[in-house]
Structure 1
Amino acid sequence: MQIKGIHHVSAITAKAKENYDFYTKDLGLRLVKKSVNQDDTSMYHLFYADEIGNPGTDLTFFEIKRAGHTYEGNNSISATYLRVANDEALKYWKNRLEELHINHAGISEQFGRNILPFRDHEGQRLVLVSDETNQGVAGGIPWKKSPVPQDKGITGLGPVKLTVPVAEKTIDVLKDLLGFEEVGTYPSTIHGQRDIVVLQVGEGGTGAEIQVEERTDLPPERPGRGSVHHVALRVEDKAELEEWVKKVKERRFPNSGLVDRYYFQSLYFREPNGILIELATDGPGFATDEDPEHLGEAVALPPFLEGNREEIEAHLTPLDTTVK
């Protein structure tokens, strides 16, 4: 049993239409699934990824229409990294963000890589990271119909940063339960705070990395639009996930047990600093119920919700996601 890397990150948006426009038209990702939150079918659940929604490329959003402002702080998933192929692609993105009037922090070096931090229209904390020197988990294949040239496109999820009040509690879970290894540190930009700890799992590299930032000067985050709900990690299949269920229960973490999400199977648990972690299987994938050429164009519902389609769609604001 080995965690393979980052599977997906799920965040919150207040407006599905603006979210769709930003992530497909500005960032050039493909909407690979337009579905609903299976625990609250009144809200959209939008999945953006590479060409076919490969595991490790997927950034998802729950639409909570009344979501308020995020008050950033501790006990949070505080940054989501998006991979690009090389430093040349990162320079392209700096110019693109400026042309689109999207604020960014400029290109800088972090842990031996070039990065470009920026925010979306709702304050989502994002960082483009160059894979120029990266070795490890392979990236995905950028969408060929993207407004971004394919060789400059986003290839998947990179590191995920966790901000917590007591780093050792989270690091213990990552290392002793999930099999991550500490591979180094880099300095915090906040005076008086300890270095940020970098951990990787499986084949390693940007697609299999979690960074743990300890902050003793912050209150807990109050999430809203632009905040991250949970991070999911890759496991091979359902049989392996069932073994992870046993391991998590042995550690007595609050957990969901095995949950069938149809496109993958999942296990959710909270580690001691309150971060919600999901373990998700690599398959069966997003092409299970849609033609790969037309992913994300219609509202997709798993079989256990299909009988309620009329009622579910009546509560959703129509969202045209047809690729022209």
Structure 2
Amino acid sequence: MIIKGIHHVSAITAHAKGNYHFYTDILGLRLVKKTINQDDPSVYHLFYADEMGNPGTDLTFFELPYAGKTMHGISSISTTSLRVSEDKALNYWLDRFNQHGVSHQGISTQGKRKALYFQDPEGQRLALVSDENNDGVPGGTPWKHSPVPAQYGIRGLGPVRLTVADKQPTEHILTNILTFKLVDQYPSHIKGNEDIYVFSTGKGGTGAEVHLEVRTDLPRERLGRGGVHHVAFRVEDEAELAQWRHLLTEKRVANSGIIDRYYFKALYFREPNGILFELSTDGPGFATDEDPECLGESLALPPFFEDRRKEIEANLEPLDTTNHK
């Protein structure tokens, strides 16, 4: 059993329309699935990704219209990274962000990589990171209809940063139960703060890292719009996911058991600092119920929700995604 890398990151938005505009028109990602939150079918679940929604490229959002603003703190997924092909791509993005009024911190570093930290309109903490020296998990293929030129396009998810008060319990889960290894550390951008620790799994590289930050000066995060709900890690298939369920149960780690999300199978658990982890299968994928050329253009419902389509559509605010080519 091996964790192959980052599968997806799921965050929270209060405004599906504004979210759709920013992630497609500004960041140039493809909306590969417009569906519902299966735990609350009255709201959208939007999936943005590369050309085909390949595992490791999905940044997803639950729409929670009345969500308050996230109050930043510990026990959180505090930065989501997005991969671009090379260092010079960051110069393109710097100009683009300035043109579109996107809040950013300029080009800096994320360990040994060049990076551009920025925020979406709801304060979501993001970073573009360069794949220039990546020799691990390959990136995806940028969307061919993106407003961003392909050579600068976003190629998938990079490292996620976890912020905790106590490093040891989270490190134990990453290294003793999951298949991550501590491979590096680098100085924090916060003066006087402890180094940030780099954990890698599978083939390693930009798409297979968790960065662990220790902060003792912050309260526990209060999650809302602009915050991250969970991070999912890649496993090969359902048979391997069943082995992970057995291992977690054997290690007395409370978990959800295997849940059918239709586009993948999933299993959820919280690590000791309270951050929600998910293990997700690579398939069957987002072309299961839509033509690859038309991903995200209509409301997609898993078969077990299809008999409620009229009710569900009546409760959702219309979101036109048919003109995003």
TM-score range, shorter chain: over 0.9
- Please state whether the residue corresponding to 2:96 is helix, strand or coil: helix
| 1:183 match | 183
Partners in 2 of 1:271 and 1:67 — Cα distance?
24
TM, length-normalised to structure 1: 0.99
Partners in 1 of 2:101 and 2:188 — Cα distance?
28
| 1:320 match | 320
TM, length-normalised to structure 2: 0.99
Q: CA deviation at 1:250?
A: 1.6
1:61-116 CA deviation, whole Å, 9 max, x = no partner?
00000011111000000000000000111111111111111111111123211000
Q: CA deviation at 1:251?
A: 2.0
Partners in 1 of 2:98 and 2:133 — Cα distance?
25
Contact 1:186 1:197 in 2 (8 A): yes
1:128-171 CA deviation, whole Å, 9 max, x = no partner?
00011111000000000000001110000000000001011101
Partners in 2 of 1:224 and 1:252 — Cα distance?
30
Contact 2:111 2:187 in 1 (8 A): no
| 1:156 match | 156
Residue identity opposite 1:175 in structure 2: T
What is the number of residues matched between the two proteins?
324
Partners in 1 of 2:83 and 2:119 — Cα distance?
15
- 1:109 maps onto 2:109 in alignment: yes
- 1:248 maps onto 2:248 in alignment: yes
| 1:45 match | 45
| 2:262 match | 262
Partners in 2 of 1:40 and 1:101 — Cα distance?
33
Partners in 1 of 2:230 and 2:2 — Cα distance?
20
| 1:11 match | 11
**For residues 137-286 of structure 1, what are the structure 2 equivalents within 5 Å?**
137-286=137-286
Contact 1:193 1:216 in 2 (8 A): no
| 1:58 match | 58
| 1:134 match | 134
What percent identity do the matched residue pairs reach? 65
Contact 1:234 1:280 in 2 (8 A): yes
Partners in 1 of 2:62 and 2:124 — Cα distance?
13
With 251-260 and 305-314 compared, the bigger mean Cα shift is at 251-260
- In structure 1, the gaps of 5 or more residues are none
- In structure 2, the gaps of 5 or more residues are none
Residue identity opposite 1:16 in structure 2: A
With 268-277 and 108-117 compared, the bigger mean Cα shift is at 108-117
1:201-245 CA deviation, whole Å, 9 max, x = no partner?
000001000000011111000111000000000000000000000
1:148-202 CA deviation, whole Å, 9 max, x = no partner?
0011100000000000010111011000111101111011223343111000000
Contact 2:110 2:129 in 1 (8 A): no
Task: Could you list the structure 1 runs, at least 4 aligned residues long, displaced by more than 3 angstroms after superposition.
Answer: none
